[in-house]
A and B are shown apart, each in its own frame.
Chain A
């Protein structure tokens, strides 16, 4: 914050605080709600009158257990597989786009963009029918495949931009040194592109993890139903009780992997890794 007047500092601080409150406010509210006892939910107060773990107990051991735990397992599994597949495919594809001149290159880019723009809700009904016919309905692959259609375009775009920043001479040097194209890719390009790969992985993970429309439409049992969809099936202890507390607790639980992933990968997302490769 060098070179700023006090006025500017104050101004920026205010903006930062407003943004933080705006984005984190709802999260904190959910966190507080998750600690409330069921009678406490309708008081309209921000803080619980008494901190209780009833809701967490309910989703891990109580009535919502059979709904939540399989859903959590499905979410983690499906999202991880979708992310890994998306990143691997996108890395290869983006490398080709950034480095090679092949017929149909524009077509790949344009169709990737087109796919990512297509509204999810409009394809979900035909997909539902198709999946039922070919037996992918309510299975893991039945979700992984649509998730790839969401994550691949953005991954390809991000990574292609990243690859283009890597000096081409590095690859040429590797080739002259005796590397095959694949060796040059694996030993030189991939390590340098790692920050980009991690960034892409995080984005892809978020997209798949947060999906609701596919999750609720293409599953019917706990065989493949992910958490966001499962939350909709939570019920209260009785017919007259809202499952708000349990949903809040589940929402907090599903946020944790995201936080862990960001913290883990953040260290990898260091800029300036290509520093010193070439004169510049």
Chain B
């Protein structure tokens, strides 16, 4: 068990490129923290700096209050699961799991090794595979062996480097659940790197979003989703992603390419005095007008739109509405698309509709948007002008409480 304190860490390569730039993050004992971001954002580098496989250019890294900048990986007492599993192909599953305990550093007697290997293997469902070689195992099994090797050490913390990215979608879901339960059960500090936001949202107590080596926001998944700090976080978290509409404040209304919106005062306030802002609206804040509760109607705006097409998914459906591109925000959105690893952000609004809705492509229809929940972003800086710090902090505080309860419940079950 340990805390990990990251203070102003910088990783600069020989050519001067900063892969990790001034990142600070405190990870509490037993906390599950996710590092997330598009490829090349420095999340894996940061993880490797924590474990000691990359040198730290500047800043300080403390594990349990002790500076470890200069320690070799083996002296940091951390366990890591690699993206490609990195199993020892010449050893059986049993010997792979036992490997760390047979090294001179943490040498244990054979009967203790055996006890721990068996416990880990039963926890991970590897009992029938102990004598097999990694080459004969499926991807999911190899993944579990890698986890087993990390568990038996009883190290101070777990580090995961995109451990599920090589598995197929179904297995990924299963392993995700397994990792979440295991972490709760062992109550061990964990840092998990991923580019998959579903993993980030479901596993993390707190999620750290990185862009080009810089930390954008660290918060509970809910805070990230509901109170994003900037355009990048808003665009990165959520699927389908948040819609960004150019908007101008005019006489108490927001003029957007899909129509004029009435909005609550705090939204108008944020947009006022600026020539142009970007309005962020999540798809689920739209609805087919027919399915909106009478009581909710005053909190939003009705719009007449003609979707290009709809996609029915069973539990809901998506409608796609094209709009005229605004050249003034084109550059901002293009840059955002690049940051998010996408080709472009098309001038298109994605709306979530009830699965019973009969809105179809090509027909003018009436939809409704909940304007209480929209965010206003500054075009130049990308800053979220409607972010409610207090509310966001409250969400993260609640997530921390929930986690504490979960750990206690898990501990009670164990006894």
**Contact between B85 and A278 (Cβ–Cβ < 8 Å)?**
yes
In the complex, residue of chain B having the shortest beta-carbon distance to the beta carbon of A278: B84
What's the least CB distance linking B81 to chain A, in Å?
Answer: 9
**Contact between B86 and A278 (Cβ–Cβ < 8 Å)?**
yes
**Contact between A191 and B106 (Cβ–Cβ < 8 Å)?**
no
**Contact between B82 and A169 (Cβ–Cβ < 8 Å)?**
yes
Mark each residue of chain A from 168 to 185: 1 if its CB lies under 8 Å from any CB of chain B, else 0.
Answer: 011011111111100100
**Contact between B139 and A177 (Cβ–Cβ < 8 Å)?**
no
Bound: A169/B51 CA distance, A: 13
Please report the total number of B residues contacting A with Cβ < 8 Å.
35
Known contacts A175-B53, A177-B149, A177-B153, A192 near B73 by CB under 8 Å: no
Bound: A175/B142 CA distance, A: 19
**Contact between A178 and B100 (Cβ–Cβ < 8 Å)?**
yes
B134 contact set on A, CB distance < 8 A: 276-277
Query: From residue 65 to 120 of chain B, which have CB atoms closer than 8 A to chain A?
Result: 72-74, 77-80, 82-90, 99-100, 103-106
B139 contact set on A, CB distance < 8 A: 279
Bound: A191/B139 CA distance, A: 23
- Does any Cβ of B come within 8 Å of A280's Cβ? yes
Contact of B103 among A172, A177, A192 (CB under 8 A): A177
What's the least CB distance linking A189 to chain B, in Å?
Answer: 10
Please report the total number of A residues contacting B with Cβ < 8 Å.
26
**Contact between B78 and A176 (Cβ–Cβ < 8 Å)?**
yes
Query: From residue 158 to 176 of chain A, which have CB atoms closer than 8 A to chain B?
Result: 167, 169-170, 172-176
- Does any Cβ of B come within 8 Å of A274's Cβ? yes
- Does any Cβ of B come within 8 Å of A275's Cβ? yes
Contact of A274 among B52, B79, B89, B153 (CB under 8 A): B89
In the complex, residue of chain B having the shortest beta-carbon distance to the beta carbon of A190: B90
**Contact between B53 and A177 (Cβ–Cβ < 8 Å)?**
no
B89 contact set on A, CB distance < 8 A: 192, 273-277
**Contact between A169 and B84 (Cβ–Cβ < 8 Å)?**
yes
- Does any Cβ of A come within 8 Å of B136's Cβ? yes
- Does any Cβ of B come within 8 Å of A69's Cβ? no
In the complex, residue of chain A having the shortest beta-carbon distance to the beta carbon of B74: A178
What's the least CB distance linking A23 to chain B, in Å?
Answer: 35
Bound: A277/B85 CA distance, A: 7
Contact of A175 among B74, B84, B104, B149 (CB under 8 A): B74
- Name B residues whose Cβ lies closer than 8 Å to a Cβ of A: 51-53, 72-74, 77-80, 82-90, 99-100, 103-106, 133-137, 139, 142, 149, 153, 166
Given A172-B82, A175-B74, A278-B86, 10 more A-B residue pairs with CB atoms under 8 Å apart are A169-B82, A173-B88, A173-B149, A175-B73, A177-B79, A179-B74, A276-B87, A276-B89, A277-B88, A278-B82
Q: List 25 A-B contacts (CB under 8 A).
A: A167-B84, A169-B86, A170-B86, A172-B53, A174-B88, A176-B80, A177-B100, A178-B74, A178-B77, A178-B100, A179-B105, A183-B104, A187-B99, A192-B90, A276-B89, A276-B136, A277-B84, A277-B85, A278-B84, A278-B87, A279-B83, A279-B84, A279-B85, A279-B139, A280-B84
Q: Which 5 A-B pairs have the closest CB atoms?
A: A276-B135, A278-B84, A276-B134, A173-B86, A177-B100
